A and B are shown apart, each in its own frame.
Chain A
Amino acid sequence: MAHVLPAVAVTPAIAEASKRKSRVAYFLLIPGLAWLAIFFVVPLVTLFMTSLQTESVTSPGKYVPGLQLSNYTDALAEYWPQFLRSFLYAGLATGFALLIAYPLAYFIAFKAGNWRSLMLVLVVAPSFASFLLRTYAWKTILADDGPVTSTLNSLHLLPDGRILNTGIAVVAGLTYNFLPFMVLPLYASLDKIDYRLIEAGNDLYGSPQQVFRKVTWPLSLPGVVAGTLLTFIPAAGDFINAELLGSTKDKMIGNVIQTNFIEFRDYPTASALSFALMTVILVMVLSYIRRSGTEDLV
């Protein structure tokens, strides 16, 4: 056993070195943590404190620090329809985005060949124009006298006779605006699939449909989860689409928060709504991730 001794003698030095290495790794975290602390944690705490402020007794219209929990109940009691509508619109947009993005990502990953890079650039290309501008463009596209509306009208497919200023336009805008966030994670996870697995599925008596259901789809789930989250979360909090493409009946929670902040200057209500939105989304996301069991997937 004599030859073991040198190894024992060396160990403390190695331990020292690896400890130093891990300390260096922590130093690397500092800029990121500092950024998060200043621009995320501090505003979050401020927002939370604001959401509990009470109206000043001496000067109405001003708010002072307090513990007004009724800010939450009042806000939710008044604005629950917008809350529900936000989740409905975001959910629909996410669903449509998935339906459009999956075949597209599948094509790019497996069939595009040399066109792959170009197609990926085209997916991202709209982002070079501003979000606001693109949404304005949809106003023109869906305008009452525009080609889309008149075509659908001549086929008697529109119950209200119009698209602009309806929920349809809002959902369409949301779907369009967040589509790249669905395509890219889906593409990344489809592209990672070893094509031989699909061949193996075919070889083992799986028809193309069966192989898709049993091999391709489960292996692409991480992309589906990432894509739906990246689409749903910003869509649920969005206000530009509802503002530009919807009517007053199609307002989402983002519009309410924005109006309360900017127009009514009712900061506690706006903050309470923001916080409630964040909490609901967080709870939904966590249960979604747990149910889809992504931590189990490769």
Chain B
Amino acid sequence: MPEGVSRIVEDLRLANLTKQFGETKAVDNLSITIPAGSFFALLGASGCGKTTTLRMVAGLEDPSAGQVFIGDKDITELRAFQRPVNTVFQSYALFPHLDIYENVAFGLRRRGVKDVDAQVGRMLELVELASLARRKPSQLSGGQQQRVAVARALINKPDVLLLDEPLGALDLKLRRQMQIELKRIQSEVGTTFVHVTHDQEEAMTMADTVAVMNAGRIEQLGHPADVYETPHTIFVANFLGQSNLIAGKKVTSGEIVEVAAFGLGFKMPASRNVAPGMNIVVGVRPEKITVLDLHDEDKLPAAHNRIFGVVTDVSYTGVSTQYLVETPWGQTIIAFEQNSIVGDRCAVGDQVVLGWAPEHTFGLDPAEGLTSGLDKAVVELESDPEA
């Protein structure tokens, strides 16, 4: 496309998209709209249907039901090579017999575009690989291959760029670097990015909108901070970051909902409670909790929710300190504290009070069970009395 001509980028819309493999529904009646130009992350554990969703958008998998739209155009029946959509594959899938230049030029050549040379040059410039144009993919490092994969897809100026765990094969440091790089490229080209990942931190740092997916459905969708601060399901509370969850019963409703559990009362704004009935799971994120010695309880604001307990473990992680506190009813509460306090930290065996603001409390429906969204191995380890 000539410079200076602004392109009308359109929304990607999935309508009742379903994919059935035999008995199992990999993707179950999915309907979402991904706004044009946004960086959208599909987050979920392996097998949750996120990659299948991506492949249906790319046209590499036929949906069992439902439609895919770009703007008003139904692209469900179009084949992969007819869709204005490109994919960055998980293991890059660079053509081993072609050099970097030809890999990047592949899409342009198939469409018979004229100024291949100038476009490939500019694209290699954008991903900072111009000097390696004549190398074969096998001669490049993982990070470089990753950039070639992005360049090869982006050069076609797709309406939507799909990224399937694009950073999965890179080591942690390089992954951080590429996260920033990808964000820079996205804001530079303004294309809609749909990014599939199981890495919650990656999803939160990169995306404008995160959709947490579980068993073929979207659990919750929104701005990363909103989803994190106000999870709507136990799955999201556990899968995205960590949460302390306490099951209780509603005592009063109104502006402020009060929940009674284990002889204690917990308050939260009604807007932060999504439980429909009397049974409510009270949740709070570990970093929202203040850990105080029992003698200092009066330092907590009166309105704060509080739990009393005994410190069973203290781990110093540099930025913060992680406390494990056992409650009188035998539950372990996890709390992070910034290492900015002056004076002594609490030690193992100390009687402490844990306090947090009602505004940081959320209420969830207990129906799905308190361990939903937790790693199965972790759950087993914790429920094992020997451990």
Could you tell me which A residues sit within 8 Å of B by CB distance?
Answer: 194, 196-197, 199-208, 210-211, 214-215, 218-219, 297-298
Chain B residues contacting A202 (CB-CB under 8 Å) are: 59-60, 79-81
Chain B residues contacting A197 (CB-CB under 8 Å) are: 93, 95-96
Known: A200-B87, A214-B106. A205 touches B97 (CB 8 A): no
A-B contact pairs, 13 of them (CB 8 A): A194-B91, A197-B93, A199-B80, A200-B94, A203-B87, A204-B86, A204-B106, A205-B81, A205-B107, A206-B110, A210-B110, A219-B96, A297-B97
- The majority secondary structure among interface residues of chain A is helix
Question: A196 touching B91 by the CB < 8 A rule?
Answer: yes
Binary interface encoding of chain B residues 193-211 relative to chain A, with 1 for a CB under 8 A from any of its CBs, else 0? 0000000000000000000
Chain B residues contacting A214 (CB-CB under 8 Å) are: 106, 110
Known: A210-B110, A215-B95. A205 touches B89 (CB 8 A): no
Q: Bound state CA distance, A202 and B59, in angstroms?
A: 9
Interface set, chain B 42-89, CB cutoff 8 A to A: 58-60, 79-81, 85-87, 89
Q: Bound state CA distance, A298 and B97, in angstroms?
A: 7
Q: Bound state CA distance, A122 and B85, in angstroms?
A: 42
Question: B89 touching A200 by the CB < 8 A rule?
Answer: yes
Since A219-B96, A297-B97 are in contact, a sample of 18 more A-B pairs with Cβ atoms closer than 8 Å, ordered by chain A residue number, is: A194-B93, A196-B93, A197-B93, A199-B93, A200-B89, A200-B94, A201-B106, A202-B79, A203-B59, A203-B86, A204-B86, A205-B107, A205-B111, A206-B106, A207-B81, A207-B110, A210-B81, A298-B138
Count of A-B residue pairs with CB < 8 Å:
67
Chain A residues contacting B79 (CB-CB under 8 Å) are: 202
Total count of chain B residues near the partner, CB < 8 A: 25
Chain B residues contacting A200 (CB-CB under 8 Å) are: 87, 89, 93-95
- The reply to whether the CB of B267 lies closer than 8 angstroms to some CB of chain A is no
- The reply to whether the CB of B273 lies closer than 8 angstroms to some CB of chain A is no
**For residue B96, which residue of chain A has the nearest CB?**
A298
Chain B residues contacting A194 (CB-CB under 8 Å) are: 91, 93
Q: Bound state CA distance, A207 and B111, in angstroms?
A: 10
Interface set, chain B 81-135, CB cutoff 8 A to A: 81, 85-87, 89-91, 93-97, 106-107, 110-111
Question: B97 touching A204 by the CB < 8 A rule?
Answer: no
Smallest beta-carbon distance B170→chain A, Å: 18
- The reply to whether the CB of B152 lies closer than 8 angstroms to some CB of chain A is yes
Known: A196-B89, A215-B95. A203 touches B138 (CB 8 A): no
Binary interface encoding of chain B residues 136-164 relative to chain A, with 1 for a CB under 8 A from any of its CBs, else 0? 00100000000000001100100000000
**For residue A221, which residue of chain B has the nearest CB?**
B97
Q: Name the one of B81, B94, B152 contacting A206, with C-beta atoms under 8 angstroms.
A: B81
Q: Bound state CA distance, A197 and B107, in angstroms?
A: 13
Q: Bound state CA distance, A207 and B86, in angstroms?
A: 14
Chain B residues contacting A204 (CB-CB under 8 Å) are: 81, 86, 106-107, 110, 152-153, 156
Q: Bound state CA distance, A210 and B138, in angstroms?
A: 23
The list of the 6 closest CB pairs from A to B, nearest first, reads: A204-B107, A202-B80, A200-B93, A196-B93, A205-B110, A298-B96
Chain B residues contacting A219 (CB-CB under 8 Å) are: 96-97
Smallest beta-carbon distance B167→chain A, Å: 17
**For residue A196, which residue of chain B has the nearest CB?**
B93
Q: Bound state CA distance, A160 and B138, in angstroms?
A: 56
Q: Bound state CA distance, A215 and B153, in angstroms?
A: 16
